Structure 1
């Protein structure tokens, strides 16, 4: 299988070369994620909602542990979003328990999983229901000039970063995308639901990244152009941009953004240069595009620019940089880090930090 590089899977950086080097995820505590859920829970109903802390465990593995402990089928366990394995994350799960008392879930708990709280609710937790994710990242073995790091972070806070899908979406060496191409050539879909979801997401994400990469390269990712489809940061709806919309002051405030395509059924509603770019992308990748359409996915949009909510940072030690920020659901913290520093493999030493 062909090994794909970061540059092939994502695209160019927006602000030039990284201004330092560091390690991320030397320990799980270096990458902490807290799901932000804006749903009032009723305290009663057939669904048991659990606020879970997990370490060294991905979301699907955590769901399986909860299902086994509760004595229910895996399909009755729901979650809003997938969280990394190599991280310390806190997220919500729900278990459907019609007519049943709260089960003893002690068998699910160990060093990798703790249940922090629980409550009942009338509905199950839906995918994508969380509003955002809060991140606390610690970059260790940091090497770089503090002034350059601070300047780049100020630029990121003011202008956002390209909203690429991160490398995690594509698997080791882009293996998920390789699998997607295999199924697209055969014009078939995997029978297993989790594999089907993974490879369809990889294909869609890759095509979106290709469109975004072209706009980063020509500098248009931060501005609206006639024919764009615009969306607000936290909205899935979009509207076309004419001359008036391209001057909307909310674009400068990072509230409103141009969008790119998440391929599926139906023609893209984009026009002008945006439509031409999307057509060129489709012509380069006809098998993937046709396969996504045949899978019955609806055409959707994703914002091209990722605003970084509440970004703060400090240096607990000379060679450690801690970042805290909030991102909309479905967005990747690693694309922020990519605009700041080159990441070294955990355990690899580097030159001391020079401030």
Structure 2
């Protein structure tokens, strides 16, 4: 990647200020006959969304940030001295557990389906509510609402029913509990994150240089995850 130009803005970019990003990517080394397949996948994800995974870059080179977080939060090692590093490591562990829950939903065919007790997010307003209505499944399919997963923390809103059971099972599998989350509430209060994300205004073309992709994503979503869905390969 080559950065052609950079300039400073007069105001600092703070958390929550960024609405989204627009990506224009060239992918080299893709066979010419792959274009129809990639186009079909792009049309599908523009309707269903893509899994809202955290990309590998979230976890540091070789997963080192996750390893450091596990030593502190799971194995009882001394925490980092700097608050920034403590917050980073908590965020890394939260992200890994979110990814694990999302992978479980994909495995069980629940990516674009409503589960009893899901904490849903309204696509238009961002409002949250707990779902117990079977009719919500059709609203998920229509992309009116999306199920959310946890960025685990002591102050987050919890789901109910089967969705809650899944989250508590994941906590237990990682050696944590709801009560244990209080130990890092100052640097990781917790929140919800949709399990899927829209791909806005996608476009695809091909020439001798490869595939040319363009799409928009909201803040917090990873273009590398979209590429993985389209190419069925981990981009590096």
TM above 0.5 = yes
CA distance in 1, matches of 2:226, 2:98: 17
CA separation of 1:149/1:125 partners in 2, compared to 1, >3 Å: closer, same or farther?
A: closer
Is 2:7 the counterpart of 1:115?
yes
1:198-237 map, 5 Å: 198-233=88-123, 237=127
Equivalence for 1:271: 160
Distance 1:211 1:343 in 2: 20
RMSD between aligned residues: 2.5
Other-structure match for 1:162: 51
Deviations 1:3-45 (A, max 9, x none): xxxxxxxxxxxxxxxxxxxxxxxx33xxxxxxxxxxxxxxxxx
Aligned position for 1:303 = 194
More helix by percentage? 2
Alignment equivalent of 1:178, drawn from 67, 79, 85: 67
Report the structure number with the largest CA radius of gyration. 1
Aligned to 1:338: 228
SS at 2:189's partner residue? Answer: coil
Match of 1:138, SS?
A: strand
Q: Mapping of 1:1-355 within 5 angstroms?
A: 27-28=1-2, 55=3, 114-115=6-7, 118-119=9-10, 125-143=13-31, 145-184=34-73, 185-186=75-76, 188-233=78-123, 237-243=127-133, 246-247=136-137, 249=139, 251-266=140-155, 269-287=158-176, 292-296=181-185, 297-317=188-208, 320-341=210-231, 342-343=233-234
* CA apart distance, 1:125: 3.9
Q: How many residues align?
A: 231
1:203 and 1:290 mapped to 2: Cα distance?
16
Higher strand proportion (structure 1 or 2): 1
Q: Could you list the runs of 5+ residues in structure 2 that have no partner in the other structure?
A: none
CA distance in 2, matches of 1:262, 1:172: 21
Q: How far has the Cα of 1:248 moved from its partner?
A: 5.5
Give the 3 Å change call, closer, same or farther, for CA 235–284 of structure 1 in structure 2: farther
Give the alignment's TM-score, normalised by structure 2.
Answer: 0.86
SS in 2 for 1:339: helix
Which of the pair has the greater relative contact order for Cα pairs under 8 Å at 6+ separation?
Answer: 2
Using the alignment, how far apart are the partners of 2:126 and 2:89 within structure 1? Answer: 22
Calculate the TM-score normalised by the size of structure 1.
Answer: 0.59
